[in-house]
Amino acid sequence: MDTPEYMLAQTCASWGLPLDAGQLAQFAAYARDLRTWNERVNLTAISEPVEIYRRHFLDSLSLARFWGDDPGSLVDIGSGAGFPGLPLKILRPALRLTLVESVGKKADFLRYMVGELGFNGVRVVAARAEDVGRDRAERAAHDLVTARAVAEMRILVEYCLPLLQVGGRMLAAKGAAAHDEVAAAARAIALLGGDLAGVESVDIPGLDAHAVVIIDKVRPTGPRYPRAPGVASRKPL
How confident is the model over 39-54, as pLDDT tens digits? 998 898 888 889 999 9
pLDDT category at 108 given cuts 50, 70, 90 is: very high
Name the band, by pLDDT with cuts 50, 70 and 90, for residue 17: very high
Q: What is the CATH number of domain 58-234?
A: 3.40.50.150
Alpha carbon distance 3, 20 (integer Å): 16
CA 124 – CA 103 distance, rounded (Å):
11
* Residue 171, phi then psi, degrees to nearest 5: -125, 120
Q: Is the pLDDT of residue 1 over 70?
A: no
Q: What is the mean pLDDT of residues 61-75?
A: 88
Q: What's the pLDDT tens digit per position in 142-172? A: 999 999 878 899 999 999 999 999 999 999 9
> Which whole number is the average pLDDT over 208-236?
93
Identify the pLDDT of residue 169. 96
What does the pLDDT look like over 110-129, one tens digit per residue? 999 999 999 999 999 999 99
Q: What is the mean pLDDT of residues 187-211?
A: 91
* pLDDT at residue 36 in the model: 94
Residue 53: Cβ-neighbour burial (10 angstroms; 0-12, 13-18, 19+): buried
Instruction: Please state the rounded mean pLDDT for residues 175-195.
Output: 94
- Domains of the chain: which residue ranges? 58-234
Q: Is residue 209 a contact partner of residue 201, using CB atoms and an 8 Å limit?
A: yes
For residues 163 and 133, the answer to whether their CB atoms sit within 8 Å is yes
Residue 150 pLDDT:
81
